[in-house]
Amino acid sequence: MSQRLPPLFGQSWPAAWRGLLLLLLALGPARVSQAQQLLDFQYVDSLTQTLLDQHRWRTLDSVGHAALRLGADYPALRRRLGEAALATDHPAAALRYYGAALHQNPLDAAARAGLAAAYLAFNQPGPAALLARALPDSTRQVLRLASHQAITQLELEGTTLQTAERQRGAATFGRLGVSSRLSPRLRLTQNFSYYGQEVELPRYGGLGSGEQHRTSQGQYHALLAAQLTPSWQLKAGYDFITKDLGANNLGYLAVAYARPGWTAQAGLYAGTVTDTARVQADLRLTVYPLGNLRLYGFGRGSVVRSSGRSYPNALLGAGGRLRPRLWVEAWGSVGTVPVLAEADGTYLYNLLDPLCRRAAVSLLILGPQRLSLRLLYGAEQRRITAIGLDYTLHSFSAALAWTW
């Protein structure tokens, strides 16, 4: 197939020569001849292909950047630079290169597959599945991006919570999560969870020790994510909560936008929790300062509206990869709230006592056969409102996930 000549080779000559002059001044006389060679389309195309075949990623990146500065911009060059960026663990750069290559040539299957792989390297299967729908079955199998899949992930989580406060006993939490891909655009996640805790309630009249009571909460959570474009995603969720005071319902709607170096999401929860109307507005932001998952920062700002009052809550954290199969995260939050929904409604903090402050650290261990284990320790401060007493609740959690 014939390639459309880039601006340097036949178009915008004045601008191209100005760029060449600036580059030559920067390189010095010793490298003038090398820079002049980069004006030759056939030379650039052959050299970058050879470097690609030899897996000389850094040299390919250097030559490709120099050629781009001179105006040599065509799909094959961008695709090769994308492959070099992905091979050297720079998925943000790979997204830009592959995205430009696919924009210039929408029929380029290699660029489409590379772009899907770059999204997977950023742990974003939604855009990857959307892009992969136009790929051959064999390529989708390599990427593990089937168009329809009954179960894509199964997760089992267990948590124990301990406190030294005599009026509050130990608590347990369990969750079963199942994820499915309904189509290249649609993904469904369902969670079934249960929470129980022994608490001491004041006796009638306030005399003597209180009475022990078992408080519990069962929850069903469903989240439907629709990938509108590789950058835009729409989420709709529903929570059905059973508690001592009866059944409760919570709806959720969110929109997310992703760029190579950051993602942002705005969401809104509304419904009845513990027989009280609740509304929660969220804004979440994740940034990747290194252009990969070696280091990332994340934050969330929330405002909970309940009983005519507003309760702000903020969370800030950071994470990164310590080893190829070992990840760490740490985060903390402040702001007293009566209830709090997190992770698109997967977790609903709806204990008897309001939540004040939290801090946690977690480890993610990638095992064989696409197994992963997440270990978490957290400490949260809660308040017994009736007597104005703050106490600390320590949580130890383990979650085992199978991903297909």
Question: Is 344 within the bounds of a domain?
Answer: yes
Within a domain: 3: no
Nearest to 95 by CA among 319, 265, 103: 103
What pLDDT score does 3 carry?
41
Q: Find the domain containing 102 and state its range.
A: 13-143
Q: Does residue 2 belong to any structural domain of this protein?
A: no
Model confidence band, residue 8 (pLDDT cutoffs 50, 70, 90): very low
pTM of the model: 0.85
Q: Determine, yes or no, domain membership for 293.
A: yes
Q: CATH number, domain at 386? A: 2.40.160.40
- Statement to judge: residues 162 and 113 lie in one domain: no
Task: Note whether 160 and 133 are within 8 A (CB).
Answer: no
Residue 320 falls within a domain, yes or no?
A: yes
What are the Cα distances from residue 122, in Å, to 151, 153, 204, 252, 261?
A: 21, 17, 56, 25, 10
The length of the chain in residues reads 404
Residues 100 and 36 occupy one common structural domain: yes
pLDDT at residue 2, as a whole number: 38
- Pick left, alpha or beta for residue 307 (phi over 0 → left; psi -120 to 50 → alpha; otherwise beta): left
Do 358 and 284 fall within a single domain? yes
Please check the confidence at residue 375 and state whether its pLDDT lies above 50: yes
Question: Can you give the pLDDT at residue 35?
Answer: 62
What's the CA gap between 383 and 336, in Å, rounded? 9
Indicate whether 181 belongs to any domain: yes
pLDDT at 127: 96
How does residue 157 score in pLDDT terms, banded at 50, 70 and 90? Answer: very high
* Per-residue model confidence as pLDDT tens digits over 304-315: 999 899 999 999
Helix (H, G, I), strand (E, B) or coil at 146: coil
Query: pLDDT per residue over 165-182, tens digit each?
Result: 988 889 999 999 999 999
91 and 74, same structural domain?
yes
Structure-model confidence comparison of residues 98 and 147, the more confident one:
98
**Around 154, how many Cα atoms within 13 Å sit in the side-chain half-sphere?**
5
Output Rg (C-alpha) for the chain, integer angstroms: 27
Query: Can you give the CATH number for the domain in which 105 is found?
Result: 1.25.40.10
Distances (CA, A) of 29 to 33, 41, 394: 8, 22, 66
- Per-residue pLDDT averaged across 123-130, rounded? 94
Residue 207 has pLDDT above 70, yes or no: no
Question: What six digits make up the tokens of 222?
Answer: 């469903």
In this structure, the answer to whether residues 200 and 80 fall within a common structural domain is no
Number of other residues whose CB lies within 10 A of the CB of residue 191: 22
Last residue of a domain, one of 116, 143, 170: 143
> Pseudo-torsion of CA 64, 70, 75, 79, nearest 10°?
10
- Angle formed by the axes of helices 109-121 and 125-132, to 10°? 160
C-alpha distances (whole Å) from 225 to each of 39, 45, 186, 298 are 47, 41, 6, 20
Distance CA 353, CA 366 (A): 35
Domain final residue, candidates 143, 160, 185: 143
Q: Identify the residue with better confidence: 54 or 386.
A: 54
The structural domain count of the chain equals 2
Judge if 235 and 350 occupy the same domain.
yes
175 plus 119 within the same structural domain: no
Does pLDDT of 340 surpass 70? yes
In a domain, 241, yes or no: yes
Are 229 and 323 in the same domain? yes
On whether both 21 and 73 belong to a single domain, the answer is yes
Whether pLDDT at 403 is above 80: yes
Angle at 140 between CA 144 and CA 285, to 5 degrees: 60
Pick the residue with more confidence: 245 or 286?
286
Task: Quote the tokens at residue 370.
Answer: 């696409």
Query: What does the pLDDT read at residue 6?
Result: 41
Instruction: Look over the chain and give the mean of its residue pLDDT values, rounded to a whole number.
Output: 89
Confidence of residue 186 (pLDDT cuts 50, 70, 90): very high
Could you give the CA distance from residue 252 to residue 344 in angstroms, rounded to a whole number?
A: 8
Among residues 185, 268, 189, the alpha carbon closest in space to that of 232 is found at 185
Distances (CA, A) of 395 to 362, 377, 392: 11, 6, 10
Predicted local distance difference test score (pLDDT) of residue 40 = 81
What kind and span of H or E run contains 257?
strand 246-259
Question: 3-class secondary structure for 206-259?
Answer: CCCCCEEEEEEEEEEEEEEEEECCCCEEEEEEEEEEEECCEEEEEEEEEEEEEE
Rounded to the nearest 10 degrees, the angle between the axes of helix 41-53 and helix 57-69 is 160
- Shared-domain flag, residues 121 and 189: no
Confidence label for 4 from pLDDT (cuts 50, 70 and 90): very low
In tens, the pLDDT along 227-259 reads 999 999 999 999 999 876 667 899 999 999 999
CA distance 212 to 200: 5
- Residue 177 in domain: yes
User: Of 124, 143, 162, which residue sits at a domain end?
Assistant: 143
Q: Are residues 272 and 216 in the same domain?
A: yes
Residues 62 and 158 in one domain: no
DSSP letters for 45-64: HHHHHHHHHTT-HHHHHHHH
